[in-house]
Amino acid sequence: MKGEPASEKEAPPRPGPRVGVTAARKGAELATAFKRRGAQVLQGPTLGGDRPVDDDTIAEAIDRMVELRPLWFAASTGMGMRLLAAAAERTGRRDALVRVLENATVVARGQKAAGGLRRLGITPVWIAPDERDSQVETWLAEHVRTDEVAAVQVHGAGGDPYGRLLENGVVVERLAPYVSVPPDDPGPGTRLAEATVAGDLDVVTFTSPGAARGLARLADTAGIGDRVREALNGPVAVATVGPVTGEGARDAGYAVTIEADNSTGALVRAVMSWWATRA
C-alpha cells in the first residue's frame, strides 16, 4: 500500500545457499533436489566412479593370501567383498578364499562389509560401531602382534588407513577389488575448486571419501590446493554423507561442518536446515 511504513513491508525471500556438488553418479539427482529447495547449484564431479580391477589381479592377491596365511582379515566395503567373491568364483579360487578367512580372525568396518562376508559363510567377530577405517585400524593395532600378517580389503578411494599397523611392525597385505578413477573431464571439478576459493559457494558437498580426495587432487593440479583447504576450513562449509565420507574429507584437510546420515536425502535436509539457522 502506498505510504506504508518501510518497517511493515514484507522482507524479500532469502536466497538459498550456493551449493557445490562433487558427486558424479548421484550428482544430477543431488543437484535437482537442492534446486527444488531454492539452492543455487554448481556441479563439478571430482571423481569418475569406481572401476573393478581385472580378475587376474584379484587372483594373484588371493594366491598371495593363501601363501601368507594371515591370522587377521578386515573387510572395508560391501561392494569390495562382493567383487572379491565374484572374482574368486570365476577364477576357481572361492574355496581357497573361504579357507583363508575361516582360519583368520575376521572384522568388518560396517554392516555392508559384514554382509559381504556372510555371503561367503564368514561371520565377523567385531564390526566397527561408527563404520570408520580409523576404528578398524585401532582395533587391529590393539590385537595384532608384531610380525603377524593382517590382510585388509580396502576401498578404492585411495589413502592409507592402516599406516599405524605398519609402524607397529605388522605385515599388511592389501586387497583392492576396485579403484576410484578421476573424472573424464577435469574442467567442472576444477571450476568448483576455483569457485570455492573465490567465495562463490556457501557449502561444498561430498557423498564419498573419493570425491573429497578427488577435489584435493584437482585443486593441487591447478595450483590452488592450499587455498581450497583454507576455504574449506573457514568461510565455506563442508557437508558429507555418513562418517566414512566425513573421515575422508578430514583426511583431505577439510573441516566437516555438516555430517548427515547415510543418504543423499538426509544430506539435502541437513544442508537446508543448516542454512536456515544462518542469519
pTM metric for this prediction: 0.80
Residue 265 host element (H or E): helix 264-276
The CA distance from 1 to 178, in Å, is 65
* Domain ranges for the chain: 13-48+183-276, 51-180
Topology (CATH) of 51-180: Rossmann fold (3.40.50)
Contact 256, 277 (CB under 8 A): no
One fold for both 13-48+183-276 and 51-180? yes
| One pLDDT digit (tens) per residue for the chain, 279 residues | 455 554 555 656 678 999 999 998 889 999 999 999 999 999 999 999 888 999 999 999 999 999 999 999 999 999 999 999 999 999 999 999 999 999 999 999 999 999 999 999 999 999 999 888 889 999 999 999 999 999 999 987 666 678 889 899 999 999 999 988 899 999 999 999 999 999 999 999 999 888 999 999 999 999 999 999 999 999 999 999 988 899 889 999 999 999 998 889 999 999 999 999 986
In the three-class reduction of DSSP (H, G, I as helix; E, B as strand; rest coil), residue 178 is classed as strand
CATH value of 13-48+183-276 in 3.40.50.300, 3.40.50.410, 3.20.20.60, 3.40.50.10090:
3.40.50.10090
Contact 193, 219 (CB under 8 A): yes
State phi, psi for 245 to the nearest 5 degrees. -65, -40
Helices (H), 24-105: 27-36, 55-68, 78-90, 94-102
